[in-house]
């Protein structure tokens, strides 16, 4: 990593790789940034959904409902907490759907249930003796039309032969999870779907089948409430409500892993907050400000979890999540950092650095001390010395303004369109101080960047009546870099 410090291209390549791998997240604070965007809030989603979903509508017109959505901080915290690094740890994929499947009635159809568990398959009897393998049956309407044409002309969309068939054949995707119910309050297996829909014409029961790989099985059954707060419906196949699934509890049950804490080999994750001082810090972080402290992180001595107000989920900050906040020293007047937040961060000052300018330009085969005859190092250091003398050290010009310069014209452009306008803001249009910083304080001929013209007083007035000599300042058409020659 030390070698990357002097090779920006390699550094940016590594940064983009880590962003793509979701080990790094980036966010910019602003005055309107809120807790709901940072941690989590409610977002409107359309009501209804696919047939066979726990939240599928009852056939009326679709509306919307408010659903908890995680913010950037919650998302990367969960990524860090669940990261297994190079440790061969089995984790459930929380982006997948979970379906409840009933293989048969408890006690009275145990042979059917056991056959599915022993032979790694799931099966249903709804859908009759129709082979639903054709590609057109990916569509719910095609299933409905086929059933009405061949079996029941009066069937509606809520007919279980239509709804359950669609959920099992089309809604359930390869890679999704299935829990095998054992009544309404327990389940006895969890598996992952590995095969597409199959029709077994020779089956003595339930000809509609799919292959699965069992991850966990307990024939005596386990309490459903341990991971899902709602009773299982009698429906043979439907998708569970993702908002009600407690993935940590499910992993603890089926894998035996304490999913609440990062594993020992978890990789570090980083959240970068640009302009951290521009938002209302207390409002954005809310109750989570306590969790930032090192000893309050998950797995640490004084671990603390809070219950999030919108989702109701228990939440803690993992120890492998690092938070970096950036701000310009010149922006301190915009908003002072909350004292409570300041205690939870260490501060590292990054002042203008001539060596960085020199090294960065060297990687492009350019000489910062002789760029088309201009000594950029001398230019930057001289301007900053004068700014510190006339204003303060926090308003110095950063070296990044010049790192992309490749010619005298580029330097001219930076001075004309970036540095000089910035100085006029610093000194509130007091051009005499701007001129002093640029070495043009005398306002005479042979100036560097600015020129001044004496204004004649109106008739009947003398200079001393208006506070002395008046000058009209203007930016020169052609700059003179003689003071900063290489």
Mean pLDDT (the chain, rounded): 88
Of 79, 85, 97, nearest in space to 322 by CA: 79
pLDDT tens per residue across span 190-209: 999 999 999 999 999 999 99
Q: Which of 166-180, 212-226, 328-342 has the lowest mean pLDDT?
A: 328-342
Do the Cβ atoms of 80 and 262 come closer than 8 Å?
A: yes
CA 390/CA 432 separation, integer angstroms: 11
In Å, what is the CA distance from 36 to each residue of 28, 69, 196, 275? 15, 8, 39, 18
Q: Which of 5-9, 65-69, 101-105, 395-399 has the lowest mean pLDDT?
A: 5-9
pLDDT band at residue 397 using 50, 70 and 90 as cut-offs: very high
Whether residue 163 is predicted with pLDDT greater than 70 in this model: the reply is yes
Q: Residue 143 has which token pair?
A: 């299933």
pLDDT band at residue 443 using 50, 70 and 90 as cut-offs: low
On whether the pTM is more than 0.95, the answer is no
The helix (H) or strand (E) run that includes residue 384 is helix 376-390
pLDDT tens per residue across span 410-431: 999 999 999 999 999 999 989 9
Question: What is the model's pLDDT at position 62?
Answer: 54
What whole-number percentage of the chain has pLDDT above 70? 89
Q: Residue 177 has which token pair?
A: 């999870």
Do the Cβ atoms of 168 and 185 come closer than 8 Å?
A: no
pLDDT band at residue 228 using 50, 70 and 90 as cut-offs: very high
In Å, what is the CA distance from 213 to each residue of 114, 195, 216, 387, 482? 15, 9, 9, 69, 77
Three-state secondary-structure class, residue 386: helix
**For residue 210, what are the β-bridge partners?**
122
Do the Cβ atoms of 77 and 285 come closer than 8 Å?
A: no
Question: What is the model's pLDDT at position 280?
Answer: 87
In Å, what is the CA distance from 31 to each residue of 26, 276, 329, 331, 482? 17, 10, 18, 13, 44
Q: Residue 150 has which token pair?
A: 């061949």
Question: What is the model's pLDDT at position 360?
Answer: 87
Question: What is the model's pLDDT at position 386?
Answer: 95
pLDDT tens per residue across span 356-374: 999 989 988 999 999 999 9
Do the Cβ atoms of 78 and 262 come closer than 8 Å?
A: no
Whether residue 465 is predicted with pLDDT greater than 70 in this model: the reply is no
User: Ramachandran region of residue 107, left (φ > 0), alpha (ψ -120 to 50) or beta?
Assistant: left
**Average pLDDT in the 5-12 region?**
75
Do the Cβ atoms of 262 and 81 come closer than 8 Å?
A: yes
pLDDT band at residue 330 using 50, 70 and 90 as cut-offs: confident
Question: What is the model's pLDDT at position 260?
Answer: 66
């Amino acid at each position: 990593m030390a070698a990357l410090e002097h090779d920006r291209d390699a550094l940016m390549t590594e940064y983009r790789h880590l962003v793509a791998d979701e080990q790094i997240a980036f966010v910019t604070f602003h005055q309107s940034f809120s807790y709901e965007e940072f941690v989590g809030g409610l977002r409107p989603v359309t009501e209804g959904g696919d047939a066979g979903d726990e939240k599928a509508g009852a056939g009326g017109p679709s509306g919307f409902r408010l659903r908890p959505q995680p913010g950037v901080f919650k998302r990367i915290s969960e990524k860090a907490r669940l990261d297994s690094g190079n440790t061969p740890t089995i984790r459930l994929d929380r982006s997948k759907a979970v379906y409840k499947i009933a293989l048969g009635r408890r006690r009275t159809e145990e042979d059917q249930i056991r056959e599915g568990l022993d032979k790694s398959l799931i099966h249903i009897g709804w859908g009759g003796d129709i082979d639903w393998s054709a590609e057109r049956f990916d569509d719910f309407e095609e299933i409905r039309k086929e059933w009405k044409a061949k079996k029941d002309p009066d069937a509606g969309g809520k007919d279980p032969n239509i709804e359950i068939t669609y959920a099992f054949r089309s809604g359930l995707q390869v890679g999704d999870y299935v829990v095998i119910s054992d009544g309404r309050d327990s389940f006895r297996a969890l598996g992952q779907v590995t095969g597409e829909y199959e029709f077994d014409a020779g089956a003595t029961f339930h000809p509609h089948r799919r292959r699965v790989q069992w991850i966990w099985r307990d024939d005596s059954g386990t309490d459903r409430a341990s991971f899902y707060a709602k009773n299982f419906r009698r429906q043979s196949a439907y998708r569970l409500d993702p908002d009600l699934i407690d993935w940590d509890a499910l992993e603890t049950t089926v894998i035996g892993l304490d999913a609440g804490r990062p594993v020992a080999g978890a990789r570090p994750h980083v959240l970068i907050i640009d302009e951290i001082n521009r938002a209302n810090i207390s409002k954005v972080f809310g109750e989570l400000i306590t969790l930032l402290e090192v000893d309050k992180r998950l797995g640490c001595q004084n671990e603390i979890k809070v219950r999030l107000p919108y989702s109701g989920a228990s939440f803690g900050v993992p120890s492998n999540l690092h938070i970096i906040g950036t701000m310009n020293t010149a922006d301190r007047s915009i908003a002072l950092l909350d004292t409570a937040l300041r205690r939870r961060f260490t501060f590292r000052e990054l002042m203008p650095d001539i060596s960085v300018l020199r090294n960065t330009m060297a990687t492009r085969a350019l000489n910062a001390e002789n760029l088309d005859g201009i000594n950029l190092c001398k230019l930057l250091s001289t301007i900053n010395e004068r700014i510190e003398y006339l204003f303060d050290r926090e308003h110095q010009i950063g070296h990044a303004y010049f790192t992309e310069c490749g010619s005298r014209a580029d330097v001219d452009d930076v001075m004309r369109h970036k540095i000089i306008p910035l100085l006029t803001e610093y000194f509130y249009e007091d051009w005499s101080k701007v001129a002093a910083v640029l070495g043009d304080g005398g306002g005479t001929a042979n100036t560097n960047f600015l020129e001044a013209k004496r204004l004649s007083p109106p008739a009947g007035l003398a200079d001393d009546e208006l506070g002395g000599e008046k000058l009209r300042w203007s930016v020169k058409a052609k700059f003179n870099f003689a003071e900063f020659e290489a």
